Structure 1
Amino acid sequence: MAFRSPTYLAGAFLILAISFAIYFNVAVRVDSSAALARFDQLTAQNASRRAAVHGERALRLLTKEGQSEEQLAPLMLRVADAQLSRNRNERAAGLLRDALATKSSDTLNRRKRALYEDKLARASVLSGDIETAVAIYASFLDLAGDDAVRSADESAAISAFYADRVAEAEQLFAAALNHARPYESTVGAREAQLAAATNMASLGSFYAMREHGAYAAAGLLSSAYLIRTKLLGGDHQDTVQLTLVLGPVYSGMGRLDDAEKLYLDAFHAQEQLKGANSPDLSLYIKLLTGIYERQGRYTEAQALQEHMRNLFRDAFGAQRYAINRERDRREDINRPVSQLFLLKSDYAPGDLVSAAEFSIPTAKSPNIDEMKLRLAGDPDADPREANLPARLAQLISLCRSESGERISLRSGYRSYATQKGLYANIGGKGTVTPPGMSEHQTGLAADINVENRFMRPSDRAYQCFEENAYRFGFILSYPPGNNYLPGADPYEPWHWRYVGVSTAQLYREAGPYQKPQEFLAALPCYQERAANGVFPASGEDDLCLSAKPEIKVAASEKDRLQPAEEDGDAARILNKLPAARAPR
């Protein structure tokens, strides 16, 4: 055989290589199997950006060959992942949406499907489709149930998994939505836009309860408010309801002018609905007064306070606070309970009754202790109506009628031992107070369920409770920004405490805004001054908060309240307990 020169061999090899390259490129462009094999190869090499091109080609070729979306759904999900790596969010969203709409996607387990839906939501936000994203995350929020208000990072439950996906999307919404300029939905018919507003309200309320969620909350809630205002009107109750969530967000961000406008619009809407002389306007008067005081507009704040007192005088009588309420103090009906005012381990009320006997809907078996409440009856009124469970039943009935939502008692009385066990099991995740500082031990607290999960600020029932609970003797124990309990997230919109009608009215009329424990600690001072017609003036120090409160409780020493500090002003320091001194 004749010897071939190296030049000849190199040329032959080059021709072969070129021929193979031409064949390969032709094959991957016209042969679905070759395109799919190349996609698989590049994906295995973590070269997803390059793989996306071949994946798309494989989809086109396989579609031409007659394969349906049902058959192609698994490949579509994989190609969507590759497109996400290229930041081709709109294309990725389209692939994910089509794949998840097929019946074959039903074979995915719940966790894996949720991951793909999460990717769809993220891609939708990044491509400007806010409506799809909020629909997905709002459904996650519903599926999360109570885990939406717990710190569930270590839980393996699927509900906690949904909650985590929503929580992780917070920064996504904060970046995508301008908190100072609402997103204006123009997609779909009127019903579709209102559905988007409802989803935005649910998500915004969730983020509003989180420590650093203000920007995401403001963007979502202001967008929902704009949509409802345009389509329903500013006086519609669904629009007014958002005021109670968005207003505090604006206030916390220092956007006082925006909060003022919200509260003014809500006040005028409720004034038209309920009449200019309704004491139910007091909630919005209280909110406006707080804004005016922060703005230094004390004259206007004082005028509003005087207006509220006139409303209360006309509705409830001029001498409403002249009644001696020493019995309530002695029987602990209006005593403070917090990490500064602890209950003894053997403290137990002696007048517990079944909530079901008073027609209160219960979320658990009506026979267990947790479905009991204190009777706490007024001795000078009809005992069948003037007591805690009867009034709670009336409040729930009113709010069920106004909201159309299912409302039930989730938790009433809990003994020290029960509280200790619950805290040991789930206390670290929130929603359960350490033993000894729980109002549930008094039998005077009621956790409220709406639609079989904790009440949320986005619920219509929450607006009803905020507006009307004081008339039945209840106050919100743990408002936004409180520091009464250990833990990062002490805000509990579902926890309502019975303090008696007179005390609840006084708190609405003259108490410090969103400071219920300080108010209860200094209650004798407020009662004495109110009975004499002396109320705190706007712009001046609240003398009741600057005086050391005298806490009078049951006669036996074992039931006496135990302040965490012996000296100092307990009313003023209630929110300033150093973390190192929190009871364990």
Structure 2
Amino acid sequence: MRGSAKVRRSGREILALFLLIASGVYGLGFWSLVTFDPDSAWTRYELLDESGRTARAAWHGSKAIALRLEDGLDGPETQNMQLIVAGAHDRAGDPDEAIRLYRAVLEGPMGEEMRPADEMAIVYRIADLHLTQGRVVEAASLAVRIVEAAGAGHVAHSRVPDAETALYTDYLDRLSTDLRGLLPPNDRRPPIAGETPDLLVAAENMTTLGAYYAARGTPPETAAGLLSTAYDLRASLLGIDHQDTIHSALLLGPVYERMGQVDKAVPLYLDAFHAQERTYGANHPVLSLYIRLLVSAYEEQGRMTEAEALNLHMRNIFSDAFGARRYAANQDRDRTADINRPVSEAFPLPASYKPDDLVAAGAEAIPLSKLPHLDEMKIRMASIDETTSMPASLSALLSQCEQPGEALSLRSGYRSYDTQAQLYRRAGPKGRVTPPGTSEHQLGLAADIDVNGRFMRASDRAYRCFEENAFRYGFILTYPQGNDYLGADDGFEPWHWRFVGPRTALLYREIGPLGKPQEFLAALPCYEERAMSGLFLSVEGRDVCLDTLASETTAQDDKAKGRGETG
């Protein structure tokens, strides 16, 4: 009996040993298959993914892809696998491997043939993953790609379909919250390390992205965080006198003002003013931009004595540069020819209005973004005198402000009432296009400017040149930040410049109400009279001409209501 039991026990042990060896051989064979055979590894990925074991599935998926690449299989099938497995790593909480695979897709043949909307979806996902790891520099560079894909974000004129523009805007809005958390607009921002060339590229990207968010209007904290980081990088690497640093200051200051932090804007304006003073001299007209910004900020702070001193300095600069009687010759003809005519919902044009001095802009040495025979490639001659006209002035301004890597061209000039009506119908209630009869393009005096084939942005170096110098050529920015002419949150149009003639533009720069160009044109006779009488300053911080305009408008409204002329 004992011998029989021993035999049975020995048999079971032998069987167990056999099964163990067989299991080991099978396991070794299975491991070899999923480790060295790409098809087996991919099958394992699919089974694990279907069962919800995403992290293990993602590992096998990456192994299958690596094996295929080792075998030289880098075609569309492998690219599609990379996209699928990147999503698995994304869901499994492995951002670095997800980023690596997403990038492989974008940089491969699939990325080259991908629809822009699909490409930007991946770019957004990579940017978002970088932000989860606190990598702001990498995220900002990717977000700029989305900004570029969306054009300038002006839906009615964009070459990107409306649905895609809305999608890209949504991506950027989603990134905004994390960017705001990682780059607060105060001294708690983490330092950014790296080599100088890389840091300057980072500053450029943050400037572009910050300017985008600033133009959107909300939330200002995101724009402030990006722009202040860019400013700090440029100031430390290039110095406060460098034009790029000054550009960052001009973008950041107004954002601080919108946040109610004028005390942070003033030092930026002062540094920019003194930097340009060192560059151009104490009496150069370029300084007028910085004086206007400082005066407005000082008035908001109640520092009227300092504001008055700067206004006096402005008058001295302009008197030296343009003559003591610089406004005496202004004006009747300009008004008769509608060169100084305001255009907005409060000051509409009739449907029949069409200027009689339109000329082809291309024939006047102005670079074009569209075919030369189109109506939009026409502008007014608008001759002020024998030597000054809109085409000559625009051509000279474009020549002065074209920067390295920034080619300037005319995107849109004259638009008829009917063309404006079509654009307005397309835009619908979005509020980014003025109703027909309320567009300066119908006057033939507006010029939308392209930079490298897309709308000029506030982050473009050419824009700062326009801000500093356009008034000397007779142009003003008539849809500035914070305007309500378009009835939209993003009514700021840094590409839209209106010709009003050099004398009127000069007057607007010197004493016009900052950010209220249409009101200025409506009250132009009052401003001219005060200028020629030497009454440049407002009374106790109040603008007499604007007050008079408001009173006249109220009286007209009351009179209309008395006649029963209601909405």
TM-score by length of 2: 0.85
Contact 1:170 1:216 (8 Å CA) reproduced:
yes
| 22 and 131 in structure 1: CA distance in 2 versus 1, 3 angstrom threshold | farther
Structure 1 counterpart of 2:470, one-letter code: A
Query: Aligned equivalents of 2:103 and 2:26: distance in 1?
Result: 32
Structure 1 counterpart of 2:256, one-letter code: Y
Query: Aligned equivalents of 1:22 and 1:108: distance in 2?
Result: 46
Q: Which residue of 2 aligns with 1:315?
A: 321
Query: Aligned equivalents of 1:513 and 1:416: distance in 2?
Result: 29
Q: Which residue of 2 aligns with 1:547?
A: 548
- Among 547, 556, 562, which residue is 1:566 paired with? 556
| 536 and 168 in structure 1: CA distance in 2 versus 1, 3 angstrom threshold | same
Report the more deviating stretch, 295-304 or 209-218.
Answer: 209-218
Q: Which residue of 2 aligns with 1:52?
A: 55
- Among 387, 393, 396, which residue is 2:395 paired with? 393
SS in structure 2 at match of 1:333: coil
Structure 1 counterpart of 2:57, one-letter code: H
Q: Which residue of 2 aligns with 1:40?
A: 46
- Among 219, 228, 234, which residue is 1:222 paired with? 228
Q: Which residue of 2 aligns with 1:536?
A: 537
SS in structure 2 at match of 1:247: helix
Report the more deviating stretch, 168-177 or 273-282.
Answer: 168-177
SS in structure 2 at match of 1:373: strand
* 1:35 to partner: Cα distance: 5.9
Contact 2:156 2:426 (8 Å CA) reproduced:
no
Query: Aligned equivalents of 2:332 and 2:190: distance in 1?
Result: 53
Query: Aligned equivalents of 2:246 and 2:415: distance in 1?
Result: 35
- Among 289, 292, 314, which residue is 1:286 paired with? 292
Query: Aligned equivalents of 1:207 and 1:56: distance in 2?
Result: 38
Structure 1 counterpart of 2:365, one-letter code: S
* 1:477 to partner: Cα distance: 0.3
Structure 2 counterpart of 1:186, one-letter code: A
SS in structure 2 at match of 1:332: coil
Structure 2 counterpart of 1:313, one-letter code: S
- Among 187, 192, 201, which residue is 1:185 paired with? 192
SS in structure 2 at match of 1:448: strand
- Among 92, 105, 116, which residue is 2:98 paired with? 92
Contact 1:150 1:430 (8 Å CA) reproduced:
no
* 1:340 to partner: Cα distance: 0.9
Alpha-carbon deviations, 1:77-133, whole Å to 9, x = none?
333323322433334323433454445655655443332222111111211222322
Q: Superposed, which structure 2 residues align to 1:7-156 within 5 Å?
A: 31-32=33-34, 36-44=42-50, 47=52, 50-60=53-63, 63=66, 66=70, 70=74, 73-103=79-109, 106=112, 108-147=114-153, 155=161
Query: Aligned equivalents of 1:335 and 1:184: distance in 2?
Result: 50
Contact 1:38 1:51 (8 Å CA) reproduced:
no
Structure 2 counterpart of 1:211, one-letter code: G
Check if 1:271 corresponds to 2:277. Answer: yes
Aligned-residue identity in percent: 45
* 1:469 to partner: Cα distance: 0.7
CA RMSD of aligned residues (A): 3.4
Q: Superposed, which structure 2 residues align to 1:400-439 within 5 Å?
A: 400=402, 402=403, 405-426=406-427, 428=429, 431-439=432-440
SS in structure 2 at match of 1:276: coil
Q: Which residue of 2 aligns with 1:337?
A: 343
Query: Aligned equivalents of 2:267 and 2:155: distance in 1?
Result: 29
Q: Which residue of 2 aligns with 1:207?
A: 213
SS in structure 2 at match of 1:447: strand
Query: Aligned equivalents of 1:286 and 1:355: distance in 2?
Result: 32
* 1:474 to partner: Cα distance: 0.9
Query: Aligned equivalents of 1:425 and 1:220: distance in 2?
Result: 33
Query: Aligned equivalents of 1:291 and 1:457: distance in 2?
Result: 20
* 1:496 to partner: Cα distance: 0.8
Contact 1:354 1:371 (8 Å CA) reproduced:
yes
Q: Which residue of 2 aligns with 1:446?
A: 447
Report the more deviating stretch, 408-417 or 359-368.
Answer: 359-368
Query: Aligned equivalents of 1:547 and 1:423: distance in 2?
Result: 32
Contact 2:414 2:443 (8 Å CA) reproduced:
yes
Query: Aligned equivalents of 1:346 and 1:435: distance in 2?
Result: 11
Structure 2 counterpart of 1:84, one-letter code: D
Structure 1 counterpart of 2:397, one-letter code: L
Structure 1 runs not aligned, ≥5 long: 1-14, 552-562, 571-579
* 1:460 to partner: Cα distance: 0.9
Query: Aligned equivalents of 2:507 and 2:438: distance in 1?
Result: 24
Query: Aligned equivalents of 1:69 and 1:113: distance in 2?
Result: 23
Larger relative CO (CA 8 A, sep 6+): 1 or 2? 1
Q: Which residue of 2 aligns with 1:479?
A: 480
Query: Aligned equivalents of 1:109 and 1:441: distance in 2?
Result: 36
Structure 2 runs not aligned, ≥5 long: 1-15, 561-565
* 1:257 to partner: Cα distance: 2.1
Alpha-carbon deviations, 1:408-460, whole Å to 9, x = none?
11111112122112222345555532101111111111111111111110111
Contact 1:235 1:270 (8 Å CA) reproduced:
yes
SS in structure 2 at match of 1:490: coil
| 429 and 30 in structure 1: CA distance in 2 versus 1, 3 angstrom threshold | farther
Contact 2:208 2:459 (8 Å CA) reproduced:
yes
Query: Aligned equivalents of 1:56 and 1:77: distance in 2?
Result: 14
| 24 and 91 in structure 1: CA distance in 2 versus 1, 3 angstrom threshold | farther
* 1:549 to partner: Cα distance: 7.2
Report the more deviating stretch, 207-216 or 522-531.
Answer: 207-216
Contact 1:522 1:549 (8 Å CA) reproduced:
no
Q: Which residue of 2 aligns with 1:509?
A: 510
Query: Aligned equivalents of 1:43 and 1:86: distance in 2?
Result: 11
Q: Which residue of 1 aligns with 2:10?
A: none
Query: Aligned equivalents of 1:431 and 1:341: distance in 2?
Result: 18
TM-score by length of 1: 0.83
Question: Size of the alignment, in residue pairs?
Answer: 536
* 1:339 to partner: Cα distance: 0.9
Structure 2 counterpart of 1:377, one-letter code: S
| 102 and 171 in structure 1: CA distance in 2 versus 1, 3 angstrom threshold | same
Structure 2 counterpart of 1:511, one-letter code: G
* 1:147 to partner: Cα distance: 4.1
Query: Aligned equivalents of 2:466 and 2:97: distance in 1?
Result: 46
Q: Which residue of 1 aligns with 2:374?
A: 368
Query: Aligned equivalents of 1:103 and 1:228: distance in 2?
Result: 37
Contact 1:84 1:92 (8 Å CA) reproduced:
yes
Structure 1 counterpart of 2:185, one-letter code: H
